[in-house]
């Protein structure tokens, strides 16, 4: 019998993590869940551990270690705490693929640890590639491991490239829903509330990415993610707003032919494909019906009102640590917006400010990224204190 695929899910209690568990549950003969982790949602982590019986769990917030340890005392499950443990559990022999479903810069170190240990990566945590795409992709190449995209747009591009990996890409188009504020003016955006920004029209996701989608930062991060995943130049990556979120992205080849990947918006599909590639497993996910969508529409993104998209292109063109600074600033700005300490438009204002104020290193080492991340967070906080 074929060996089962050992999976570690970093961030199993989140939006991607819980959907990944549904995928794993559907194919018990194929997957062997080895590791699950959470930041602080101990209750859900305990529940998941009892149900799935992984080899190990990590609770990053170490004040919750005894809660998790006691709850799982009668189970044959190792319990670890602290962020360093994330880097250790990905190295276990039984782990073949690491799904990075945690949010933000915190994903960088464990992703590098997994690559160094020779594990394939199913990458949801786009911030890792935004911050340090050069180091991450270079190490993956050296180790001969694959990074399978989970992000729906990048999964779409990847699916279009299957059978075409030897053919050069002329251009890619990343589709964007436009978020809840598509068509809004700067004046309208000035008074946007947290509740309004947390209502995405097409996708249910974690809080950070939902705000990023509303501010178009998410699309900016995805442009940088695409550059690293598919080895593209900035001018080869375009964004097109497609409010129905049915066409998940497109590739244009050098003969002018374009391929698109389509389907109803459901993250379980790209999660599953990242874990089962090159195979497609049969699902009972709802199917697309053309009559429900008599029109698929496309329009330009409003980059003047939604500054973050241009800031991401600027960071990508500058290279070095520019995107690391932008990402750090954005993580702080989103946090402050969610705490209702700054307004919606202050997110992009903060990001622009930090990108200009933070030091810049053209050829950074890992330690340089760590330093620029910390400095940029500090600058973003100081601007608002
Ligand atoms: P959620 O906020 O829903 O979940 C995040 C997960 O990571 C939770 O398990 C959380 O634990 C854990 N976590 C949070 N902070 C840390 C930290 N500092 N260290 C370790 N673990 C942490 O996020 P999503 O699932 O929405 O997104 C995860 C990643 O996937 C993001 O990078 C996002 O951009 C990307 N992505 C998400 C999509 C989606 O549909 N949700 C689509 C495409 C990409 P706890 O529950 O305890 O807080
Ligand atoms: Mg996406």
DSSP three-state, residue 225: helix
Stretch 284-309: mean pLDDT, rounded? 97
CA distance linking residue 109 with residue 107, whole number of Å: 6
Query: Does the beta carbon of 17 sit less than 6 angstroms from any atom of ligand 1?
Result: yes
Query: Does the beta carbon of 267 sit less than 6 angstroms from any atom of ligand 1?
Result: yes
Ligand 1 atom nearest to CA at 209: 34
Closest residue by Cα to residue 351 from 193, 211, 238? 211
CA distance linking residue 314 with residue 310, whole number of Å: 6
Q: How far is the CA of 13 from the centre of ligand 1 (A)?
A: 8
135, 137, 142, 148: CA torsion to nearest 10? 150
- Give me the phi and psi of 139, to 5 degrees please: -65, -35
**Domains, in order of start, for the chain:** 5-149 (3.40.50.720), 154-265+298-304 (no CATH), 319-385 (1.10.1740.10)
Distance of CA 22 to the CA centre of its chain: 18
Contact, 82 vs 60, CB < 8 A? yes
CA distance linking residue 158 with residue 146, whole number of Å: 12
In the structure encoding, which two tokens stand for residue 178, read together?
A: 């436009």
**For residue 1, is pLDDT > 70?**
no
Identify the band that residue 347 occupies on the pLDDT scale cut at 50, 70 and 90. Answer: very high
- Cβ contacts of residue 323 below 8 Å, gap of 6+? 130, 131, 133, 224, 312, 315, 316
Residue of 8, 10, 11, 338 best suited for mutating to test ligand 1, as the one with most atoms within 8 Å of CB: 11
> Does residue 83 have a cis peptide bond before it, meaning omega lies within 30 degrees of 0?
no
Nearest ligand for residue 177 CA:
2
Other beta carbons within 10 angstroms of residue 139's beta carbon come to 16
Nearest ligand for residue 270 CA:
1
Query: Does the beta carbon of 124 sit less than 6 angstroms from any atom of ligand 1?
Result: yes
Q: Strand pairing partners for 299?
A: 241
> Which helix (H) or strand (E) is 126 found in, with range?
helix 126-143
CA distance linking residue 135 with residue 150, whole number of Å: 20
Question: Any idea which of 26-40, 150-164, 199-213, 368-382 has the lowest mean pLDDT?
Answer: 199-213
DSSP three-state, residue 244: coil
- pLDDT, averaged across the chain: 97
CA distance linking residue 248 with residue 155, whole number of Å: 8
Per the rule left: phi > 0, alpha: psi between -120 and 50, beta: everything else, 76 is beta
pLDDT of residue 201: 85
Q: Which residue CA neighbors atom 23 of ligand 1 most closely?
A: 206
Q: How far is the CA of 255 from the centre of ligand 2 (A)?
A: 27
**For residue 85, is pLDDT > 80?**
yes
In the structure encoding, which two tokens stand for residue 140, read together?
A: 């993956």
Percent of all residues in the chain with a pLDDT value above 70, rounded to a whole number:
100
What is the crossing angle of helices 345-357 and 322-338, to 10°?
Answer: 150
Q: Are strands 56-59 and 147-149 parallel, antiparallel or unpaired?
A: unpaired
pLDDT tens-place string over residues 183-240: 999 999 999 999 999 998 888 899 999 999 999 999 999 999 999 999 999 999 999 9
Stretch 54-59: mean pLDDT, rounded? 98
């Amino acid at each position: 019998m074929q060996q089962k695929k050992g999976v570690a899910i970093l961030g199993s209690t989140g939006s991607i993590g819980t959907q990944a568990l549904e995928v794993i549950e559907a194919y018990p003969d194929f997957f062997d869940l080895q590791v699950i982790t959470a930041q602080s949602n101990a209750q859900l982590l305990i529940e998941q551990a009892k149900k799935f019986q992984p080899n190990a769990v990590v609770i990053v917030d170490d004040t919750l270690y005894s809660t998790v340890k006691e709850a799982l005392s009668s189970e044959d499950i190792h319990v670890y705490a602290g962020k360093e443990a994330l880097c250790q559990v990905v190295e276990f022999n039984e782990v073949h693929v690491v799904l990075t479903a945690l949010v933000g810069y915190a994903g960088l170190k464990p992703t590098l640890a997994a690559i160094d240990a020779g594990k394939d990566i199913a990458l949801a945590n786009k911030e890792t590639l935004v911050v340090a795409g050069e180091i991450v992709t270079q190490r993956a190449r050296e180790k001969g491991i694959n990074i399978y995209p989970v992000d729906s747009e990048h999964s779409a591009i990847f699916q279009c490239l299957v059978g075409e990996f030897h053919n050069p890409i002329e251009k890619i188009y990343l589709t964007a829903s436009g978020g809840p504020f598509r068509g809004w003016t700067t004046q309208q955006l000035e008074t946007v509330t947290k509740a309004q920004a947390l209502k995405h029209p097409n996708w249910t996701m974690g809080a950070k990415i939902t705000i990023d989608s509303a501010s178009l930062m998410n699309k900016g991060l995805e442009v940088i993610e695409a550059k690293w995943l598919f080895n593209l130049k900035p001018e080869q990556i375009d964004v097109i707003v497609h409010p129905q979120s049915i066409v998940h992205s497109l590739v244009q080849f050098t003969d002018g032919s374009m391929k698109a990947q389509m389907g109803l918006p459901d993250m379980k599909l790209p999660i599953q494909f990242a874990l089962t590639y090159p195979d497609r497993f049969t699902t009972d996910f709802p199917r697309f019906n053309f009559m429900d969508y008599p029109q698929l529409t496309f329009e330009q993104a409003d980059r003047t009102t939604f500054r973050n998209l241009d800031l991401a292109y600027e960071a990508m063109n500058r290279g070095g640590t520019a995107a690391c600074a932008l990402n750090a600033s954005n993580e702080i700005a989103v946090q402050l917006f969610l705490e209702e300490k700054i307004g919606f438009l202050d997110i992009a204002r903060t990001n622009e400010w930090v990108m200009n104020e933070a030091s810049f290193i053209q050829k950074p080492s890992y330690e340089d990224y760590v330093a620029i991340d910390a400095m940029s967070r500090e600058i973003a906080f100081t601007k608002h204190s």
